[in-house]
Amino acid sequence: MKRSVAALAWIVFCGALALAQKGKADPDYYPMGYSGDTWTGEVIAVDNSLRTLTLTFADAGGKNLLTFVASIPDAPYEWRRDGRNFRVVDFPYNKEAKYQVFKYVGPGDAASILPGGRADSGMERRPSPPDKNVISELAEFMGRRITVYYTSRERTVNGNKEKYNDVWRIRILPGKKK
C-alpha cells in the first residue's frame, strides 16, 4: 500500500514537471553557445510587426499567471524533428553563417551515448535554411502549446538598450487548446 502511494506521488510529481513553464532543454543536438533555456506555455497573443509570441502559463492552483514574450527572428526556418520526435521549427542560431554547428548535449551522465549508437564526436554541421522560408504570419501559433528554445540577449533600440528572448527553435506540442 505504501509503495502504491509513493508511486502515485512520483507520477504526479513527474507530471507537474512535464508541464512546468521554464526549463532546460532535453538531450539533443544544440547550437554551440546555446545555454539550454526553454519556456513552455500557450500562445495567447501574436504581433507580426514586432515578431513576438506571448506565452502564458498558469500554475496548478491557477493563482499565478506567468507570461513570456518570445522574439521570433525574421530569418529563414525549417521544419525538423527533435531528439524526442516532436515537430520543431528551427531558425539559424547564427543568422550570418551559411552553416550551423550543433553539438550533442546529453543528460550529463558519464555514460551518455550518442543517439543511434553513433561513435563520432557528437558534432553536426547543417546548412542554414533557404532564404525563401520566412514565417510572415505568426497567427498559426495562436492557442497552441509550444516550447520555445531561447537565448536572452540585449539590443539597442532608439538609443536604449533592451533585453529580449531570441528564439531559435519552437517545439510544437500535441493538441490545440479549445
In a domain, 6, yes or no: no
Range of the domain at 32: 22-176
3-class secondary structure, 18: helix
Q: Is residue 41 part of a domain?
A: yes
**Percent of the chain's residues with pLDDT above 90:** 49
* Global pTM value: 0.79
Q: Is residue 14 part of a domain?
A: no
Return the bridge partners of 90, or none: 78, 169
Residues 24 and 106: beta-carbon distance below 8 Å: no
> Is residue 75 in some structural domain?
yes
C-alpha cell at 159: 538609443
Q: How many domains does the chain have?
A: 1
pLDDT digits (tens, 9 = 90+) for 16-69: 334 458 899 998 989 988 999 999 999 999 999 999 999 999 877 777 889 999
Is 149 a member of any domain?
Answer: yes
**Cα dist. 15→37, 60, 97, 174 in Å?**
20, 11, 39, 15
107 part of a folded domain: yes
Please indicate, yes or no, if residue 16 is contained in any of the structural domains. no
Among 143, 142, 138, 147, smallest CA distance to 167 is for 147
pLDDT-based confidence at residue 143 (cuts at 50, 70, 90): very high
pLDDT, position 172: 94
